[in-house]
Amino acid sequence: MAIKTNEIKVVIGAGEYNNNPGWLHTQHEELNLLDVSTWNKKFDVNSITAILAEHVWEHLTYEEGIKAAKICYQFLKPEGYIRCAVPDAFFQDAAYQNIVKIGGPGPKEHPAASHKIVHNYKTIKQMFETAGFKVTLLEYCDEKGAFHFHEWDGANGVIFRSIKYDPRNQGDKPVFPSLIVDGVKH
C-alpha cells in the first residue's frame, strides 16, 4: 500500500545519519533508485514533495543517474524537487580527489570503492535536465576551481557535507565541499 499524506519528503540512502527530522529515511534495500517496483510499493506517482540524496549519485554511472532521475521525476509532485549532493570533480585539492575518485579509497567510514563517476557542475546539471528537471546550482566549483555558493535553505533539506553545515568547511576555504543542485519538476 502506498503512503498517502499531503507532504512526503524522502531521504535516499540515508545511512546512519538523520540530518532531516520528519523526513522518511530510506536505504538502498528498501528504495532502489534503479528499480521502479520498489518505489511503486511505497509511493504513488506524483506524490512526493521532496527527495534528498547526499553522496548517492556518484555510485551510479551517468546513464544509471539519468534513469534514477527519471524515476524520481515520476514520483515527485509537480513543482516537487530533488536536492542532490555529490563530490565535486572541479574542487582543486589532490587529497580530496584521491578520496572521491572512481574506485577510490574514500574515508574509512565511507568507502568510495563503488564510486562510478565524479561529477562536475556541467555533468550533474545535464543529467538532471535530461530527466526533465529545471536545475539550480547551489554549491559548486568551476573549471578554474573557484567555489560558487548560492543561498539555500536547510529547511528544504540539509546537506551535511556542505559549506553551510560541515564544520570542516568553516574556515577561509572549503576543505570537503560537495557539488549541490536542486532539480525542480515542472
Whether residue 2 is predicted with pLDDT greater than 60 in this model: the reply is no
Domain boundaries, the chain: 9-185
What local confidence, expressed as pLDDT, does residue 160 receive? 94
Q: Which fold has domain 9-185?
A: Rossmann fold (3.40.50)
Buried b (16+ CB within 10 A) or exposed e, 39-54: beebbeeebbbbbbbb
What local confidence, expressed as pLDDT, does residue 108 receive? 57
3-class state of residue 181 by DSSP:
strand
* 48-54 vs 9-12, strand pairing mode: parallel
pTM: 0.93
Task: Taking residues 18-33, report their average pLDDT.
Answer: 90
Amino acid symbol at 135:
V
* All three cell numbers of 61: 554511472
> Distance (Å, rounded) from C-alpha 48 to C-alpha 51?
7
DSSP 8-state assignment for residue 186: -
DSSP 42-93: H--TT-EEEEEEES-GGGS-HHHHHHHHHHHHHHEEEEEEEEEEE--TT---
What local confidence, expressed as pLDDT, does residue 110 receive? 58
3-class state of residue 9 by DSSP:
strand
Check residues 131 and 16 and name the one with the higher pLDDT. 131
Give residue-wise pLDDT tens across range 129-147.
999 999 999 999 999 999 9
Instruction: Label residue 1 by pLDDT band (50, 70, 90).
Output: very low
What local confidence, expressed as pLDDT, does residue 52 receive? 98
> Distance (Å, rounded) from C-alpha 121 to C-alpha 93?
17
Give residue-wise pLDDT tens across range 51-69.
999 999 999 999 999 999 9
Instruction: Label residue 112 by pLDDT band (50, 70, 90).
Output: confident
Q: Which of 176, 138, 184 is nearest to 160 (CA)?
A: 176
Q: Which of 78, 75, 70, 100 is nearest to 87 (CA)?
A: 100
